[in-house]
Amino acid sequence: MSYQVRLEVFEGPLDLLLHLIKKDELNIYDIPISTITQQYFEYIDLMKELNLDIAGEYILMAATLTHIKSKMLLPQEEKVGEEEETEDPRAELVRRLLEYRKFKEAAEDLCEREDIWRDVFYPKNEVSSEFEEEEVMLDVGIFDLIDAFKEIIQRMPDNKTSIDIIPEELTVRGRMSALIERLDVTGPEGLTLWALLEGDTTRRAIVVTFLALLELAKLHLIRLLQIEGDDTLRICRISSNDEAGEAEGGDADDKETD
Amino acid sequence: MEDAEIKAVIETLLFISGESLSVNRIKNVLEDVDLSKIKSLFWELQHEYEMRSSGLRIVEIAGGFQIATRPEFAGWIKKLKKVKQSSKLSRPSLETLAIIAYKQPIVKAEIEDIRGVDSTGVIKGLLDKHLLKIIGRKDVPGRPILYATTREFLQYFGLREISDLPTLKEFTELMEEDESITTSEAQSITAIES
């Protein structure tokens, strides 16, 4: 049994509701809630029929619509003594729809920009490698480190599970002090990630080094750097007295673009 | 140095820099020339490119200036050589970026509040593309991660700075009815201005 149904793809329940409102030219400030609820459920049923996974968000919105509908059916209670106007049960939904629509429009604007700027090209920086350029060090985030490790582990020749005989001394704590000792000797330019991993031949040892580096970065004892235009990660020691200055330096880099 | 010479130096630097050059970085090279001079020569240079209908132009992008090709000539470039172009961003990605661009710094829960759907995967993808960055944690229970757009974001969308984005459309009719809109609108405006 095969049949084709044209089904637009929606980003979520709010997107679907906006579509329904636009399709029937409904007034967003005065949504006929029972009509829209019915149409919404029809769409959900269609999704079920097509065996599409219905995300929890759609179900939640269905419940919200039903709740609003039932509230609208209740007679308005005149609360004597209370000056506050009873809020339209739809108000919150309308607010969310409008907020969402704003960003949907902003996203369309970005999409148009993307179309134009994808077709703009720049001269490549091919000369730079010929110059003894001053190395611009970039601060690197944790994710770059994770990426680098993923790559290293994937590149390891023996990727199969093997039984590693792990000597007792392989601990994160032990590796941390070993790393610090090595970095203290090397001075401010630090070591590359590859150099640090030289002795590590097993997956396990690499993971221990990785955890040790993460821990050291967290304690602000080391800094992860990358030379501009190069993927190699460098690890340098942060001495306690220049830490504050270094941190500010990183921020200033961003501000320069203002 | 004469103006014409300084201008030629600037053009040279623009040509080889390979990324957007800020006026300050030019200033670091041309130490004796003052900032306002550099800036005005940038404009002049830009104007000259426009005047002689060059295939190139000088764009103001990502906080600086850069030599760039014109989008209308992209076809010729692609005819000359295979251009490796990444696929366009998906709608969820654009939506998420738009929210972050206008409301940064922002946490994931706020993004999901607006979009009405889970955004974990989309955010991860944008981080991988370096269009987003983590800039810290919000000082509320759970210390959620704060996201902001990057320099690459500006470059990708041809923006000089984040305030180049058009202001979000205002919904005057509703604002009269609902105070909370007014406040969120005001917040987004300050976010853009800051």
The one-letter amino acid at A47:
M
pLDDT at A4 over 70: no
User: Which pLDDT does position B42 carry in this prediction?
Assistant: 92
pLDDT at B93 over 60: yes
C-alpha–C-alpha distance, residues B21 and A121, integer Å? 15
User: Which pLDDT does position A57 carry in this prediction?
Assistant: 87
> Chain A contact for B98, CB < 8 A?
yes
pLDDT higher for A178 or B27? Answer: B27
Mean pLDDT across A83-96 = 81
User: Which pLDDT does position A177 carry in this prediction?
Assistant: 85
pLDDT higher for B154 or A184? Answer: B154
pLDDT higher for A242 or A155? Answer: A155
Name the pLDDT band for A151 (thresholds 50, 70, 90): confident
Nearest to A148 by CA among A217, A80, A75: A217
User: Which pLDDT does position B107 carry in this prediction?
Assistant: 96
Nearest to A116 among B71, B95, B102 (CB): B71
User: Which pLDDT does position A160 carry in this prediction?
Assistant: 53
| CA distances in angstroms from A27 to A70, A112, B97, listed in the order given | 20, 27, 28
Mean pLDDT across A241-255 = 41
- The DSSP symbol for B159 reads -
User: Which pLDDT does position B167 carry in this prediction?
Assistant: 84
Chain A residues with beta carbon closer than 8 angstroms to that of B91: 11, 107, 111
Å between A251 CA and nearest CA of chain B: 10
Nearest to A113 among B69, B157, B180 (CB): B157
For residue A112, give both structure tokens. Answer: 């148009």
| CA distances in angstroms from A75 to A15, A63, A69, A81, A90, listed in the order given | 31, 20, 12, 18, 15
pLDDT higher for A247 or B12? Answer: B12
Tens digit of each residue's pLDDT (9 = 90 or more) over B56-92:
999 999 999 999 999 999 999 888 888 777 789 999 9
pLDDT higher for B27 or A151? Answer: B27
Name the percent of chain A lying above pLDDT 90. Answer: 21
How wide is the angle at C-alpha B119 spanned by C-alphas B115 and A148, nearest 5°? 150
Name the pLDDT band for A139 (thresholds 50, 70, 90): low
Mean pLDDT across B134-144 = 93
Mean pLDDT across A60-89 = 78
Question: What is the phi/psi pair of residue B129, to 5°?
Answer: -85, 0
B67, A107: Cβ pair inside 8 Å? no
* ipTM score assigned to the predicted complex: 0.80
- Paired with B143 in beta bridges are none
The one-letter amino acid at A93:
L
Name the pLDDT band for A246 (thresholds 50, 70, 90): very low
Nearest to B18 among A61, A123, A143 (CB): A123
Tens digit of each residue's pLDDT (9 = 90 or more) over B16-49:
888 899 999 999 999 889 999 999 999 999 999 9
User: Which pLDDT does position B102 carry in this prediction?
Assistant: 95
Interface test with B, best of A96, A118, A142, A226 (most B CBs within 10 A): A118
Nearest to B23 by CA among B2, B49, B1, B45: B45
| CA distances in angstroms from B169 to A103, B102, B156, listed in the order given | 9, 12, 23
pLDDT higher for B172 or A26? Answer: A26
Kindly calculate the radius of gyration of chain A based on its CA atoms and give it in whole angstroms.
29
A257, B63: Cβ pair inside 8 Å? yes
Name the pLDDT band for A256 (thresholds 50, 70, 90): very low
B18, A122: Cβ pair inside 8 Å? yes
Please, what are the domains in chain B?
Answer: 3-73 (1.10.10.10), 91-193 (1.10.10.10)
Question: Which B residues in the span 52-71 are in contact with A, Cβ-Cβ below 8 Å?
Answer: 59, 62-64, 66-71
Question: Which B residues in the span 120-179 are in contact with A, Cβ-Cβ below 8 Å?
Answer: 127-128, 133-134, 151, 154, 156-159, 161, 165-166, 168-169, 171, 173-174, 177-178
The one-letter amino acid at A80:
V
Mean pLDDT across A147-160 = 69
Å between A79 CA and nearest CA of chain B: 21
Chain A residues with beta carbon closer than 8 angstroms to that of B59: 120
Reduce the secondary structure of chain A to three states and give it as a string.
CCCCCCCCCCCCHHHHHHHHHHHCCCCHHHCCHHHHHHHHHHHHHHHHHCCCCCCHHHHHHHHHHHHHHHHHHCCCCCCCCCCCCCCCCCHHHHHHHHHHHHHHHHHHHHHHHHHHHCCCCCCCCHHHHHCCCCCCEEECCHHHHHHHHHHHHHHCCCCCCCCCCCCCCCCHHHHHHHHHHHHHHHCCCCEEHHHHCCCCCCHHHHHHHHHHHHHHHHCCCEEEEEECCCCCEEEEECCCCCHHHHHHHHHHHHHCCC
Name the pLDDT band for A161 (thresholds 50, 70, 90): low
